């Protein structure tokens, strides 16, 4: 019989508000790794989920997309009501968004190939000059803010937003709208970032918001698609608008969702990681000294900040066949909640996992995922973060927290929403 | 300058590059290790893709 996690231990991990308290989240998963590394959660209102906490188990699952599907059920934690609403809004599909994340093979690879060449290191190398200029401009702007700022909202949000939306080909005056929709989507339950008028206490709110966000993006991108089909440009929007999958036009929901994932996940996770890294720096003056003395540590600093932040908290897979994992019998149809935040603190893989160490080599974090669904934008994210820190660190003389930092209340994509700092730079 | 005769291989899934000249010292693979010398069960360290799904990068 499958071991069951006490509801009082796991239920808080199903509640977005818990994720506003980082320590509480880590404590839940530390206990789970120790006492219930692979066990079933039976939380009222949700179908049972296996909670997968160990790094090795996440890698074993995510390397086997043929067995552990992404498209049959909700790809993220969803209540029974949320799943029912998704099917209602989409005419029977289990997802509001049909992105690469929500696809299985062979569809997934066919869609991925539409934009993959643009995100390969060889293509990104050609953008390095532009990326460096953007990073420098945002660092220059930070220098004009005086000796205090909210690093999250003033710097960490706008910089990655501009990088990806410029690549997609979205005019700068529209960037704020894209940020707002991103926050509604990923922070539907955060009182500061949610959609105005959202009923946070309503268990159906997540899907209500997602459906509105989908329609807002559709309205915006329908015009972009028409424009890029008439006059293709050298941008990602044109690639998607004119992309063919197995020689055919894309499914409409998949095409809109392609734009959605690029214009949301393409910056929000990088912003979360950048804001987290500054939070760490502001609490550890020796770390700044170390990075200033040894700029070669910046890539390791970026990798460790990805592990430390792990913005994507979870994805859910469903088993397409029976499978034995860690000695437990997974049955066909079972749901598996993959905790990336837990895997990236796994004591079996990381020495002193609760210490921030830019020297970790190799850093085996799976912050970008693993297997066939590994993040398409990971090379861009690394390059833009390295460029930013390489520009900022030589100019940053000191930094400390000016007030309490605050995390977003989100059980899906989660990062700091406020990192108030006091700083000196030249 | 790349070492003469050393090649680069790229993962079809995540685009990670295995550079024979650099090896992967942090994973115990010494600089200069040819792709063919990697064990058959070697997988991409970034995404787990099998060795057979790496392509030679053209110069």
Overall average pLDDT of the A414-423 stretch: 98
Predicted confidence at residue A1, as pLDDT, reads 79
Residue-wise pLDDT for A322-349, tens only, equals: 999 999 999 999 999 999 999 999 999 9
Residue-wise pLDDT for A265-301, tens only, equals: 999 999 999 999 999 999 999 999 999 999 999 999 9
Q: From chain B, which residues contact A within 8 Å (Cβ)?
A: 10, 13-15, 17, 24, 26-27, 45-49
How do B8-11 and A406-407 pair as beta strands?
Answer: unpaired
Question: At a CB cut-off of 8 Å and minimum separation 6, what does B28 contact?
Answer: none
> Is the Cβ pair A370, B47 closer than 8 Å?
yes
Helix (H), strand (E) at residue A141 = helix A128-143
Query: Residue B4: which pLDDT band, with cuts at 50, 70 and 90?
Result: low
Which of A376, A110, A89, A79 lies closest to A253 in space, CA to CA?
A: A89
Predicted confidence at residue A247, as pLDDT, reads 93
Cα(A252)–Cα(A235) distance, integer angstroms:
20
Burial of A44 (0-12, 13-18, 19+ CB in 10 A): exposed
Q: In A, residues 97-156, which contact B (CB 8 Å cutoff)?
A: 116, 119-121
Residue-wise pLDDT for B21-55, tens only, equals: 999 999 999 999 999 999 999 999 999 999 999 99
Decide: pTM greater than 0.90. Answer: yes
How do A49-52 and A335-339 pair as beta strands?
Answer: parallel
Predicted confidence at residue B3, as pLDDT, reads 56
pLDDT at position A368 over 90 = yes
| Secondary structure of residue A343 in the 3-state scheme | helix
Residue-wise pLDDT for A159-200, tens only, equals: 999 999 999 999 999 999 999 999 999 999 999 999 999 998
| Residues in chain A within 8 Å Cβ distance of B17 | 121
Instruction: Write the residue in B10, B45, B47 that is nearest to A362 by C-beta.
Output: B45
> Is the Cβ pair A116, B15 closer than 8 Å?
yes
Give the start-end residues of each E strand in A135-175.
148-150
């Amino acid at each position: 019989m499958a071991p069951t996690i006490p509801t009082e231990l796991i239920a808080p991990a199903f509640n977005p508000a818990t994720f506003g308290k980082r320590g509480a989240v880590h404590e839940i998963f530390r206990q789970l790794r120790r006492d219930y590394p692979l066990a079933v959660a039976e939380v009222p209102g949700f179908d049972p989920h296996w909670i997968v906490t160990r790094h090795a188990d996440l890698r074993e699952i995510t390397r086997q997309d043929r067995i552990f599907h992404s498209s049959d059920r909700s790809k993220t934690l969803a209540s029974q009501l949320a799943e029912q609403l998704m099917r209602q809004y989409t005419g029977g599909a289990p997802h509001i968004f049909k992105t690469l994340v929500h696809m299985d093979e062979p569809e997934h690879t066919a869609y991925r190939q539409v934009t993959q060449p643009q995100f390969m290191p060889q293509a990104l190398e050609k953008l390095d000059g532009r990326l460096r200029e953007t990073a420098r401009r945002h660092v220059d702007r930070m220098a004009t803010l005086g000796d205090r700022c909210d690093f999250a909202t003033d710097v960490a949000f706008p910089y990655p937003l501009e990088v990806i939306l410029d690549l997609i080909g979205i005019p700068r005056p529209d960037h704020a709208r894209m940020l707002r929709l991103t926050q509604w989507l990923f922070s539907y339950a955060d009182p500061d970032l949610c959609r105005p008028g959202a009923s946070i206490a309503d268990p159906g709110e997540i899907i209500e918001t997602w459906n509105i966000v989908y329609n807002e993006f559709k309205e915006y991108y329908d015009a972009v698609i028409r424009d890029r089909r008439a006059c293709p440009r050298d941008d990602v929007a044109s690639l998607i608008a004119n992309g063919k999958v197995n020689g055919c036009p894309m499914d409409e929901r998949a095409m809109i969702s392609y734009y959605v994932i690029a214009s949301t996940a393409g910056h929000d996770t990088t912003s979360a990681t950048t804001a987290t890294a500054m939070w760490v720096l502001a609490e550890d003056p020796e770390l700044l000294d170390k990075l200033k003395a040894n700029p070669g540590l910046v890539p390791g600093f970026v990798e460790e900040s990805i592990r430390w932040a792990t913005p994507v908290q979870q994805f859910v897979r469903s088993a397409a066949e029976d499978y034995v994992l860690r000695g437990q019998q997974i049955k066909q149809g079972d749901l598996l909640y993959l905790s990336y935040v837990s895997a990236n603190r796994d004591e079996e893989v990381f020495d002193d996992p609760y210490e921030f160490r830019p020297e970790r080599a190799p850093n085996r974090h799976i912050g970008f995922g693993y297997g066939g669904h590994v993040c398409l934008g990971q090379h861009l994210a690394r390059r833009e973060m390295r460029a930013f820190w390489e520009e900022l660190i030589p100019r940053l003389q000191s930094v400390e927290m000016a007030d309490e930092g605050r995390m977003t209340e989100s059980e899906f994509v989660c990062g700091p929403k406020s990192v108030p700092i006091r700083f000196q730079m030249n | 300058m790349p070492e003469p005769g050393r090649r680069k291989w790229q993962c079809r899934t995540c685009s990670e590059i295995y550079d024979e000249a650099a090896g992967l010292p942090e994973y115990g693979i010494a600089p200069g290790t040819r792709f063919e010398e990697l064990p058959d069960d070697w997988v991409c360290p970034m995404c787990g893709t099998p060795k057979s799904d790496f392509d030679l990068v053209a110069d």
